[in-house]
Amino acid sequence: MSPKITGEAYRLRVYVGESAHYHHLPLYHAIVLEARKMGLAGATVVRAMEGYGPSNRIHTANLIDLSADLPIVIEIVDSEEYLTQFMTVLDGMVTGGLVTLDRVHVVQYGKVRRNMVEGMG
């Protein structure tokens, strides 16, 4: 299991289509389940309003041109070591889409400290 992350860490982003599946599950959900199983610090799934990828076809949530395949972004922040291990699992799950890895600085992870909240206007 990943230790509490502080300071320098890495962010893994996986961009897929909403219609992508893995073993009869939505791909984004399968990725989150696998991340939790491997003990990663956490995962967030964001459904985009609009986007396009290699096909150049625009997928949008616009009511006039409602797409059934909106872009989905899965973000996971953890140590480089844990994310590198996880990327080997992703290789067998993500057959299309985009995977990025970049360095981030973790300011806070976990519960909000009371003195931080009181110091904010």
Q: What is the pLDDT of residue 119?
A: 52
How high is the pLDDT of residue 111?
Answer: 66
Query: For the domain that residue 66 is a member of, what is the CATH number?
Result: 3.30.70.120
CA-to-CA distance for 83 and 78, rounded, in angstroms? 6
Report if residue 22 sits inside a domain.
yes
User: How big, in percent rounded to 5, are the helix, strand and coil portions of the chain?
Assistant: 25, 35, 45
At 65, the pLDDT band (50, 70, 90 cuts) reads low
Q: Which domain holds residue 28?
A: 7-118
Percent residues over pLDDT 70 in the chain: 80
| Between 78 and 114, residue with greater pLDDT | 78
Number of domains within the chain: 1
The residue with greater pLDDT, 46 or 56, is 46
pLDDT of 70 reads 84
Q: How far is CA 77 from CA 24, 45, 117, in A?
A: 26, 12, 23
Judge whether 38 and 83 are in contact, CB under 8 Å: no
Q: Is there a domain that residue 1 lies in?
A: no
Most confidently modeled range among 3-7, 19-23, 67-71: 19-23
**Residue 83 resides in a domain:** yes
In sequence order, the 6+-apart residues with CB closer than 8 A to the CB of 16 are 27, 28, 71, 72, 74, 94, 96, 97
pTM value surpassing 0.85: no
Report yes or no on 82 lying in a domain.
yes
